[in-house]
């Protein structure tokens, strides 16, 4: 599983941006966040994630908390 840090998160829309350890940014889609079972995300929070697709079609399919 890859890891990254929450760069931005809007609790009203349940969307945001995750900065991967590779310095690549990926969007957090509302459906992925809601399926994760997490109730909130904070800036700088570390997450484990699964990624599907390649290049321009990459998307986060699973989020797990690494630290609080």
- pLDDT band for 67, please (50, 70, 90 cuts): low
User: Strands 59-65 and 2-10, how do they pair?
Assistant: unpaired
**Stated pTM of the model:** 0.88
Res 1: pLDDT: 83
- The contacts of residue 12 (CB under 8 Å, 6+ apart) are none
Q: What is the pLDDT of residues 17-65, one digit of tens each?
A: 999 999 999 999 999 999 999 999 999 999 999 999 988 899 999 999 9
- Give the pLDDT score at 3: 95
| Cβ atoms of residues 2 and 50 within 8 Å | yes
Distances (CA, A) of 17 to 49, 61, 66: 13, 14, 16
Predicted local distance difference test score (pLDDT) of residue 68? 53
């Amino acid at each position: 599983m890859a890891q990254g840090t929450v760069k931005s998160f809007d609790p009203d829309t349940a969307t945001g941006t995750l900065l991967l350890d590779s310095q690549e940014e990926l969007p957090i889609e509302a459906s992925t966040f809601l399926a994760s079972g997490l109730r909130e995300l904070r800036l700088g929070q570390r997450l484990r994630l699964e990624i599907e697709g390649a290049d321009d079609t990459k998307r986060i399919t699973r989020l797990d908390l690494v630290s609080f």
